[in-house]
């Protein structure tokens, strides 16, 4: 599995699935979540409302992931995951790692070959960018080391140079 980091807009990348750093309501928000909802169009919100009405009446738990169609995005699917919020005392790196591994599990289950991730929890949820990058890269590498599950490429698509630098450092570190 090939891992890369790039500066860019996750809503425009040509991959099978993009990961949304969602909140547990799945009903949109700010940052990456707001950008994905805006770019995907109103059908994404409708799909998320349906998930809340049916399978996730209490919202999506931290560290879990669920997929919807990508609608107006280049990506076929959006995989929503809820990162831990440091401001609420959610400081366990295992919860953060779970965002990446459960998203990959969902992507593999859909038959995705390429997946793009943002820096989950590095924004308003208060995690340090370098810690997010280390946890993310370690989790994705470990997931990929478990054998061929169909995912060939994971792209970390970051919207600031600071985030990109953190992920480049993590990718350069020994596995």
Total structural domains in the chain? 1
- CATH number, domain of 44, equals 3.40.220.10
* pLDDT, tens digit, 9 for 90 and up, residues 38-65: 999 999 999 999 999 999 999 999 999 9
* pLDDT, tens digit, 9 for 90 and up, residues 102-119: 999 999 999 999 999 999
Q: Point out which residues pair with 69 in neighbouring strands.
A: 77
- Smallest CA-to-CA distance from 173 within 126, 140, 148 is with 140
Question: Containing domain of residue 101, as a range?
Answer: 2-172
On the question of pLDDT at 175 being above 90, the answer is: no
Q: Which residues are catalytic?
A: 33
- Smallest CA-to-CA distance from 157 within 16, 19, 2, 30 is with 19
């Amino acid at each position: 599995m090939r891992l890369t980091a790039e500066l860019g807009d996750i809503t425009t990348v040509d991959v099978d699935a993009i990961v949304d750093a969602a909140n547990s309501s799945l009903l949109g928000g700010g940052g990456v979540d707001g950008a994905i909802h805006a770019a995907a169009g109103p059908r994404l919100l409708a799909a998320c409302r349906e998930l809340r009405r049916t399978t996730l009446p209490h919202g999506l738990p931290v560290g879990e992931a669920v997929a919807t169609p990508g609608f107006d995005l280049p990506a076929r699917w959006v995989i929503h995951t809820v990162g831990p919020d440091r401001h609420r005392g959610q400081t366990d790196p295992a919860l953060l790692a779970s965002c990446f591994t459960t998203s990959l599990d969902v992507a593999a289950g859909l038959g995705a070959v390429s997946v793009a991730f943002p820096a989950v929890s590095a924004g308003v949820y208060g995690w340090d960018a370098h810690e997010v990058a280390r946890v993310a890269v370690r989790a994705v590498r470990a997931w990929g080391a478990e054998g061929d599950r169909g995912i060939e490429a994971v792209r970390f698509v970051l919207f600031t140079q600071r985030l990109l630098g953190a992920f480049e450092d993590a990718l350069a570190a020994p596995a």
